């Protein structure tokens, strides 16, 4: 398991290079912003067609993380589907795949701004999930402590060995963690965006995803 270890609210966490968060003491895996069915939603709304493989790719990577961690609890931290229509339009094969991943596990769908309503796909549906001292919600709240959120799809751009790279990234400080988007077709918001200024402390760190989980001071 390739990961960066850190602590939040006295809880040991692992930022996996895949973009998932592993909480060993709770056997809990958290992923954010899967945006399943994005290609279907874009086409339905008249956008340019994308290869319709992102759901399978995202679920393949999620299945691999579940196999390696043997997680007993899974939290999908909002925007799990690109919208309710995308959830309803998932092929039956992919719906059954999700059902197989849920089997034998506590599965929690936290509501996001793209999927605020109930989804008929098993699991528990919550506005937010509290596992003291941690709180899991989709959008960060200023002043929160022990908060794990998503929504912003943070990315980090930096120069490495003479070239500029840009990768999805975890952002964390002593108060909170903002998760990268896990979905295959999701974009990202650069860590230098003013959106992050009121949320992240000056000493915040970033963990870049990719082949290895690489921790750096958060570019800002």
- Which tens digit of pLDDT belongs to each residue from 41-84? 544 555 554 556 778 889 999 999 999 999 999 999 988 886 66
List, for residues 72-124, the tens digit of each pLDDT value.
999 999 888 866 666 666 788 888 999 999 999 999 999 988 776 656 788 99
Q: Is 27 exposed, middle or buried (0-12, 13-18, 19+ CB in 10 A)?
A: middle
Task: Enumerate the domain spans of the chain.
Answer: 3-217
Average pLDDT over residues 3-20: 97
Query: How far is the C-alpha of 8 from the C-alpha of 95, rounded, in Å?
Result: 34
- pLDDT, one tens digit per residue, over 137-172 is 999 999 999 999 999 999 999 987 888 889 999 999
Please state which architecture CATH assigns to domain 3-217: 4-Layer Sandwich (3.60)
Integer Cα distance of 59 and 182 in angstroms = 10
């Amino acid at each position: 398991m390739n990961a960066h270890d850190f602590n939040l609210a006295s809880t040991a966490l692992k930022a996996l290079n895949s973009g998932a968060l592993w909480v060993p003491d709770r056997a809990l895996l958290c992923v954010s912003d899967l945006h399943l069915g994005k290609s279907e939603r874009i086409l339905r709304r008249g956008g340019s067609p994308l290869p319709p493989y992102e759901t399978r790719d995202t679920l393949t990577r999620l299945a691999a993380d579940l196999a390696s961690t043997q997680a007993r609890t899974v939290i999908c931290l909002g925007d799990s589907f690109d919208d309710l229509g995308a959830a309803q339009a998932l092929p039956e094969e992919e719906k059954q795949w999700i059902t197989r991943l849920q089997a034998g596990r506590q599965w929690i769908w936290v509501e996001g701004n793209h999927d605020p309503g109930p989804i008929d796909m098993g699991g528990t549906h919550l506005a937010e999930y509290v596992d003291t001292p941690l709180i899991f919600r989709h959008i960060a709240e200023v002043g929160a402590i022990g908060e794990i959120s998503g929504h912003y799809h943070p990315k980090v751009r930096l120069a490495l060995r003479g070239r500029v790279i840009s990768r999805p990234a975890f952002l964390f400080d002593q108060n909170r963690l903002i998760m990268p988007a896990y979905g295959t077709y999701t974009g990202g918001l650069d860590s230098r965006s003013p959106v992050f200024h009121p949320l992240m402390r000056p000493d915040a760190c970033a963990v870049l995803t990719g082949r290895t989980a690489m921790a750096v001071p958060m570019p800002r």
